[in-house]
Homo-oligomer: A and B are copies of this chain.
């Protein structure tokens, strides 16, 4: 539980920062708006997961530090917004790290709540991509997860390794690390080589 908490905690700031920058790119927001969207991005996926598994109040509402960290990330994003181009590359990398940590932690939490392995994969993926998706809906962008490159796929891969290891009792810190690295690696490969899935076109 401790490791899980720190995983979620570590990703929160990065997701919040990324959420704040993405929101400011899309809309002219005031400070409160940026902080709200940073919090939505950072906490939304975990809150969705906790609602779905009935783990209420959600983990991120039981400890005030989650919200504080997420709001502070929004404040930081607002403050350094003029340098957002400089920080773009590190942010993409940190976002991939956050995605990896969140999907693995989310899968583990769902499995510990007695959901089946398949559902745990889905909920781990939701934990990773949910916050950004809610943010994108609020700022009226097509959610990243629906239309561009590899985002849900790496999260599902990391979640799948986690769920299979939990189901067949070979879960360990090294498996956890492997799951995080698979998600991170596939996500970054998608970013670097601009890999896209086939699209529907419009016919």
Contacts and interface: CB of A to CB of B under 8 A. Distances in A.
Nearest to A151: B32
A118 interface: yes
B201 A28 contact: yes
Interface stretch (A87-95, A133-141, A174-182): A133-141
Given A36-B152, A58-B52, A199 B119 contact: no
Interface stretch (A1-9, A11-19, A61-69, A98-106): A61-69
A200 B146 contact: no
A164 B61 CA distance: 18
19 contacts: A25-B202, A27-B146, A28-B147, A28-B200, A28-B202, A29-B146, A29-B147, A30-B197, A30-B198, A33-B145, A33-B146, A52-B61, A53-B61, A54-B54, A54-B57, A62-B119, A82-B203, A138-B146, A140-B140
Given A52-B56, A137-B137, 11 more contacts: A27-B142, A28-B201, A29-B147, A30-B196, A31-B199, A32-B197, A34-B200, A36-B146, A36-B152, A62-B115, A82-B203
Q: Which DSSP category, helix, strand, loop or mixed, fits chain A's interface?
A: helix
B36 A67 contact: no
Contacts of A51: 51, 56
Interface of A: 24-25, 27-34, 36-37, 47, 51-54, 56-58, 61-62, 64, 67-68, 78, 81-82, 84, 113, 115-116, 118-119, 122-123, 133, 137-140, 142-143, 145-148, 152-153, 196-203
A196 B29 CA distance: 11
Given A30-B146, A33-B147, A119-B64, A200 B24 contact: yes
A159 to B, nearest CB: 13
B200 A78 contact: yes
Nearest to A82: B203
Contact of A67 (B53, B122, B133): B122
Which of A142, A145, A153 has the largest number of chain B CB atoms within 10 A?
Answer: A142
